Amino acid sequence: MSEETPKKEVNIIIISDSAGDTAFNNAIAAAAQFPDAQINYRRYPFIIDKKRLEQTFTEIEQYPNLVIIYSLVKDEMQIPVIRFVREHKIQSVDILSPAVEALQKVTGIRPLERIGAQHKMNQQYFDRISAMEFAVMYDDGKDPKGFLEADVVLLGVSRTSKTPLSLFLANKNLKVANLPLVPDTHIPKEIYKIDPKKIIGLTNDLSVLNEIRRQRMISYGLNPDTTYSNTDAIRAELNSAQQLYEKLGCYVINVAHRSIEETAALILRHLGIEEL
């Protein structure tokens, strides 16, 4: 696709009565087949009653080019989704029902319709939930003390996948904190107290980052030609970040053309952790 042609924006809506990991992973796998599209993921987990479902419908109506991927156990929750997508002529995918129906036909057994039945409530499960909460609490450098408690600290300029990576690694039971890097801003003293091996410096190709930022501004209906997407400004940001990485002696990963899964695999390998 030429640089002059804007990428087609698609908003994938994940609706689940549990964490939504299955639907999200399916969405990522499918989206990988469309590298020339601008894919935005919007997750709505733990939608367990009709009121929250209606609130979700109200919120997502603002987004263009929707694809709804849902994983809902109960028929009473599936029906409103089916009605909504038909009324709004939205493409949708029901992740769970086809497999459940096939098993029901073969076994002759009525399904439990128990939310979250695929998740074992063991210590590993609770550790994962704790890690997810940690990632949310210490996202974007909200509280510097999180850096000292984290298993992994991600550093990077804007749009280097810090938050998605934090949540992906949290799903591997790792406590992750991240810090956005902006030139000439104060770096918390806690960063210099961390074992450099636990710090991951994220970077990107200038041209790729420029395109990502321009498309992000366009998706918000804003002028894409701003300081945020200016080539010289981005170059300064990347150089400033690289200087910090060299000072810290941390592991650096270029996320350009890498999926979240690929980057996470590099991080796990660097930490000496086997894939969970």
DSSP 212-253: HHHHHHHHTTS-S-SGGG-HHHHHHHHHHHHHHHHHHT-EEE
CATH topology of domain 123-271: Rossmann fold (3.40.50)
Q: Which helix (H) or strand (E) holds 49?
A: none
Percent of the chain with pLDDT over 90: 48
Evaluate whether 8-107 and 123-271 have a shared fold.
Answer: yes
In this prediction the pTM is 0.59
Per-residue pLDDT tens digits for 68-107: 999 888 878 888 999 999 999 999 998 887 877 787 788 8
Domain spanning 8-107: which CATH class is it, in words?
Answer: alpha beta
Domain ranges in the chain are 8-107, 123-271
Per-residue pLDDT tens digits for 124-150: 666 777 888 898 889 989 899 999 999
Q: Which helix (H) or strand (E) holds 71?
A: strand 66-71
Which parts of the chain sit beneath pLDDT 70? Answer: 1-5, 111-126, 275-276
* Short-list 202, 225, 197, 203, CA closest to 213: 225
SS (H, E, C) 113-126: CCCCCCCCCCHHHH
Distance of alpha carbon 250 from the chain centroid: 23
163: Cβ contacts below 8 Å, ≥ 6 apart? 139, 140, 178
* Concatenated DSSP letters of 174-203: --EEEEE--TTPPPPGGGGGS-GGGEEEEE
